[in-house]
Structure 1
Amino acid sequence: MKLSIVATLYQSAAYIAEFHRRASDEARQLVGGDFEIVLVNDGSPDHSLDLAVALTETDDHVVVVDLSRNFGHHKAMMTGLAHARGERIFLIDVDLEEEPEYLSVFANHMQSEPCDVVFGVQAERKGGWLERWSGKWFYILFRAATGMALPANAVTARLMTRRYVDALLRHEEREVFINGLWYITGFTQIPKAIKKHNTSTTTYSLQKKFSLFVNSITSFSNAPLVGIFYTGLSISLLAIIYTIYLIFRWLFFARPLIGWTSVMSSIWLIGGLIISFIGVVGIYLSKIFSETKQRPYTIVRQVYARQKK
C-alpha cells in the first residue's frame, strides 16, 4: 500500500464527513486507489464512532480503530501509526484546522528534497494571548531543561516514510510525549510553514497543558533531580557559612541573638523545599512504577473495516 492517512477522533462528529471527502480526494490524486484512511476513536463522547463506522460500510479505504476508552491524543496517534500499512504515512488531526490538502504540498516537498519527514509549523501560533504565551514558554523551558531544540509551533500534520514510522514505534514508553519522540527518532526532518485554522474549541485545558509540560520534562530530562542536588548543596553551604558567622559572633561579641522571625522563616522555607523536592522525586518514581508494569498504553476494543473484493 502506497499511502496511509491517520487521524484521531475526539468530539469530531462535525468534521468527519468533510475530512473524509477532502482526504480521499487528495489521496486519489496522489496515489490513485492505493491508500487507506485510519481513524482512531479515542473514546469520543459524541457519535463520532457511529459516523466513522458508517464510512467503512461504503468505503473500503476506511479503517476504524476503536479504543476501549479515552487514552489521550498522543497515545491514540501512536496506536493509529501502529495500524498504518502504507509506504508513506500522513498524520493529521481530523478537525480541519490543518487542511488535508497539505498532503500534496508535503509530498511534493518530500520529492523535491529527499527526507523522511515533512512536518507543518505555524508561521504564527493561533489562539488568544494565553495560548500563545504558554506555547512560547513551553518550548523555552523544555529546551532549557532538556537541551532538546524542539521545533517551535509544530503541528500534528506530517508526512512520514515507512522506515521513520517503524523506528518511531520502537519507543515503548507508557507515558507518551509524542513531540519529543518525533524529535529523538532522528532521520532527516524538514519543516514546512503552514496556516492552522481555528475551527474548534481546544480540549487542552490549562491543567492538561501543565500536566503535559510536567510529563514532557520528566520523560526527557533528569534536570529536576540534578536541580534538587545543587539546591540542597547550596543550602548546605549557606548553612555552614551562617553557622561559622554565629560561632564567630558568640566568641567575640557575646551578644544575645534576636532571631525568632528568621528562625521561623528558615524552618518554613526548608520545610517547603523538602516537601517540593520529595514531590519531584515522587514524580520520577511514579514513572518508574508505570514503566515497570509494562501495561499497554492503549487497548483496542474493535477494528472496523470493509473487506475488499
Structure 2
Amino acid sequence: MKLSIVATLYRSAKFVEEFHRRASQAAQQLVGDDYEIVLVNDGSPDSSLELAVQLSEADHHVVVVDLSRNFGHHKAMMTGLRHARGERVFLLDSDLEEDPAWLLSFSEQMEREKADVVYGVQQQRKGKHFERWTGQVFYKLFRFLSGLDMPDNIVVARLMSRRYVDALIQHDERELFMAGLWVITGFDQRAQTIDKRSRDETTYTLGKKVAQLVNSITAFSSAPLVGIFGVGCAIFLLSAAYTSFLVVNWLLLASPPSGYTSLMASIWLLGGLIIAFVGVVGIYLAKIYSEVKQRPYTIVRHVYRQAETRSIE
C-alpha cells in the first residue's frame, strides 16, 4: 500500500464526513486507489464513531480503530500510526484546521528534497494574544530545559516515510509527548510553512495545556531535578554564611540574635521550597511508576475494516 492517512476522532462528528471527502480526494490525486484512511476514535462522546463506521462500510479505504475509552490525543495518534500500513503515512487532525490537501505539497517537497519527513509549521501561531504568548513560552521553556531543537509553532500535520514511522513506533513509553518523540527519532526532517485555520472552540482546555507542559518537560528533561540540587546547595551556603555571621557577632559583640519576623519568614520560605521540591520529585516518581507497570497506553476495542472485521481483546 502506497499511502496511509491517519487522524484521530474526538468530538469530530461535524467534521468527519467532510474530512473523509477531502482526504480521499487528495489521496486519489497522489496515489490513485492504493491508499487507506485510518480513523482512531479516542472515546469520542458524540456520534463520531457511528459516522466513521458508516464510512468504512461504504468505502473500503476507511479503517476505524475504536479505543475502549478516551486515552488522549497523543496516545491515539501513536495507536493510529501502529495500524497504518502505507509506504508513506500522512498524519493530521480531523477537525479541518489542517487541510488534507497539504498532502500534495508535502509529497512534492519530500520527493524534491529526498526527506523522510515533511511537517507543517505556522508562520504565526493561531489564536488570541494570550494563546500565542503561552505558546511561545512553552517552546522556549521546552527547548531550554530539554536541549531538543523543537521548531516553533509546529502542527500535527506531517508526511512520513515508512522507515521513519517504523522507528517512531519503537518508542514504547506510557506517557507520550509526540512532538518530542518526532524530534528524537531523527532522520531527515524538513519544515513547510502552512496557514492553519482557526476555530473558536477547542478541546484543549487550559488545564490540559498545563498538564501537557509538565508531561513534556518531565518526559524529556532532568533539568528540574538538577535545578533542585543547585537551589538546595545555594540555600545551604547562604545559611552557613549567615550562621557563621551570627556566631561571630555573638562571640565578639555579645549581641544575641533577634528578630521573630525574619525567623518566621525564613521558615515559611524554606518550608515552601521543600514542599515544591518534593512535589517535583514526586512527579518524576509518578512517571517512573507509570512506566514500570508496563500497562498498554491504549486498548483497542474493535477494528472496523470492510475486508475484515475483527475484535481485539
| TM-score using structure 1 length | 0.98
Q: Which consecutive segments of 4 or more residues in structure 1 shift more than 6 A?
A: none
Kindly report which structure 2 residues correspond to 1:29-178, keeping only aligned pairs within 5 A, or say none: 29-178=29-178
SS at match of 2:49: helix
Asked whether 1:207 is paired with 2:204, we answer: no
In 2: Cα distance, 1:161 partner to 1:273 partner: 47
Gap runs ≥5 in structure 1: none
Match of 1:305 in 2: 305
Contact in 2 for aligned 1:95/1:200 (Cα 8 Å): no
Q: Say which SS state the counterpart of residue 157 (structure 2) adopts.
A: strand
Q: What does the per-residue CA deviation read over 1:59-101, in whole Å, with 9 as the maximum and x for residues that have no partner?
A: 0000000000000000000000000000000001001001000
Unaligned ranges ≥5, structure 2: 309-313
Distance of 1:232 and 1:277 partners within structure 2: 9
* Cα pair 1:118 1:160 within 8 Å, conserved: yes
> Secondary structure of the residue that 1:208 maps to in structure 2?
helix
Q: Structure 1 294/282 Cα, relative in aligned 2: closer, same or farther at 3 Å?
A: same
CA-CA distance at 1:200 after TM superposition: 5.3
Identity of aligned residues (%): 64
Return the alpha-carbon distance in structure 2 between the equivalents of residues 286 and 255 of structure 1.
49
Structure 2 residue matching 1:43: 3-state secondary structure: coil
Query: What is the total number of aligned residue pairs between the two structures?
Result: 308
Q: Report the AA paired with residue 207 of structure 2.
A: Q
1:258 Cα shift?
2.2
| Secondary structure at 1:131 match in 2 | helix
- The reply on whether 1:187 has 2:187 as its aligned counterpart is yes
TM-superposed CA distance for 1:202, in Å, is 1.3
Equivalent position amino acid for 1:110 in 2: M
Q: Output the amino acid matched with 2:299.
A: I
d(CA) in 1 for partners of 2:307, 2:208: 39
Letter in 1 for 2:72: G
Would you say the 8 A contact 1:122–1:195 is kept in 2? yes
What RMSD in Å do the two structures reach over aligned CA positions? Answer: 0.8
The question of whether the paired residues in 2 share the 8 Å contact of 1:36 and 1:62 is answered with yes
Counterpart in the other structure of 2:311: none
CA distance in 1, matches of 2:219, 2:40: 25
Q: Which amino acid aligns with 2:243?
A: T
Post-superposition offset of 1:257:
2.5
Given residue 296 of structure 2, which amino acid in structure 1 is its aligned partner?
P
The Cα of 1:148 is off from its aligned counterpart by: 1.1
Contact 1:74–1:178 (CA under 8 A) maintained in structure 2: yes
Within 1, Cα distance between the matches of 2:212 and 2:226?
21
TM-score normalised over the length of structure 2? 0.97
Amino acid at match of 1:84: A
